[in-house]
Amino acid sequence: MAKQDYYATLGVERGASAEEMKKAYRRLAMQYHPDRNPGDAKAEAKFKELNEAYDVLKDDQKRGAYDRYGHAAFENGGNGAGAGGFGFEGGLGDIFEQMFGGGRRGGGAQQQTGADIKTQVEIDMVEAFTGVKTNVRVPTRMTCDACSGSGSADKNASAETCGTCGGAGRVRAQQGFFVVERTCPSCGGSGRMVRNPCRVCSGVGTVPREKTLSVQIPAGVEDGTRIRLSGEGEAGGRGAAPGDLYVHISVRPHAIFQRDGANIFCRVPLRMTQAALGGEIEVPAIDGTAAKVKIPAGTQTGDQFRLRGKGFSVLRSAQRGDMYIQVAVETPQKLTRRQRELLEEFEHESKSYGAGSPEHEGFFAKVKDFFEGRG
């Protein structure tokens, strides 16, 4: 006997809201509850139908499946549309894809591409400026020489269709009314098996090795840059394509320079007399040359001087950024007797005739006004 439509069982329209279905279910469940109808087989059967219908329609995923496929969505364990039933493949994304118009994805065996490898190389800032060629040693998997990567002890033998997945490379497992598809554990997704596995690689086609590669790090790289070497990862099993090698660059801090993109900053401490009298200083550049910087008289801490084109190299370009000299005026310590005498004389002259310190004088003028205002 054909089952009644779930919506008709609850007495609601197909577009009914969750709240409407809930009210309808409660009303009918109370009416046909076995406790209210003792010994009534028809009421008991109706109560079971109500629970079955509401259990499906209150769940959005189950309701979507029912709206599209009807009762077939929950019959025979959901063996898939190809078997006349209904089923889902893969994860949650596939469920929605099939429910709401995505259709079923194409299957078939897939060769297992070799795994990607990640490694890190540390360089100093000068090497990052000029670029450098360096060697890296990485543990990897390489094609087995004994079987030439075929995985078979008999080099002339060809792989056979996997008996577990029938060559599809994937198997299905029942989980409730879902059918979950996963990679075949026997052939690893290749869909092929070797009858007489190679003793060296156990039929995998690859063996663990360590190899050394030469990596060209371009000028201008920043800390955290990732370089991809295509095809230099682990070898793929049984002739599949190899993975890639990713080299992560770490740049050590420099004792003199700080980098900000293509610009370089250099903090230069000046003696108090240098800053007051002015003069010329010589500073190094990242390219190994020296640059002369003119310091005007009265230079203050925080003043900054720009040297165009003396900054960092720009990645994949012949251009360079700028270099900024940041001044820090240093107060002398551990004075000799003569130095103290000279500074005391200088301080006396400053009080008598002014020392050209407008910020100092302006601040203490405001302090004086502040206290006089409070008095």
* Residues of the binding site for Zn(2+): 144, 147, 162, 165, 184, 187, 198, 201
Residues 321-335: b if buried by 16+ CB within 10 A, e if exposed: bebbbebebeeeeee
Q: Residue 275 in contact with residue 265, Cβ under 8 Å?
A: no
* Residue closest to 323 by CA, chosen among 261, 237, 239, 278: 261
Sign of the dihedral defined by the CA atoms of residues 179, 182, 187, 191, in that order: positive
Q: Please list, in sequence order, all residues whose beta carbon lies within 8 angstroms of the beta carbon of residue 2, skipping any fewer than 6 positions away.
A: none
Give the span between the Cα atoms of 27 and 33, in whole angstroms.
10
Binding residues: 144, 147, 162, 165, 184, 187, 198, 201
Q: Please list, in sequence order, all residues whose beta carbon lies within 8 angstroms of the beta carbon of residue 18, skipping any fewer than 6 positions away.
A: 58
Beta bridge partners of 267: 326
Exposed (0-12), middle (13-18) or buried (19+): which is 146, by Cβ within 10 Å? middle
Sign of the dihedral defined by the CA atoms of residues 351, 280, 264, 126, in that order: negative
Classified as helix, coil or strand, 81 is: helix
**Cα–Cα distances in angstroms (integers) from residue 19 to residues 16, 25, 214, in the given order:** 8, 10, 67
Identify the H or E element spanning 178.
Answer: strand 178-183
Identify the H or E element spanning 324.
Answer: strand 323-330
**Tokens 């075949």 -> residue:** 184
Other residues' Cβ atoms within 10 Å of the Cβ of residue 123: 19
Angle at 334 between CA 332 and CA 338, to 5 degrees: 90
Residues 262-289: b if buried by 16+ CB within 10 A, e if exposed: bbbbbeeebeeebbbeebeeebebbeee
Q: Residue 268 in contact with residue 292, Cβ under 8 Å?
A: no
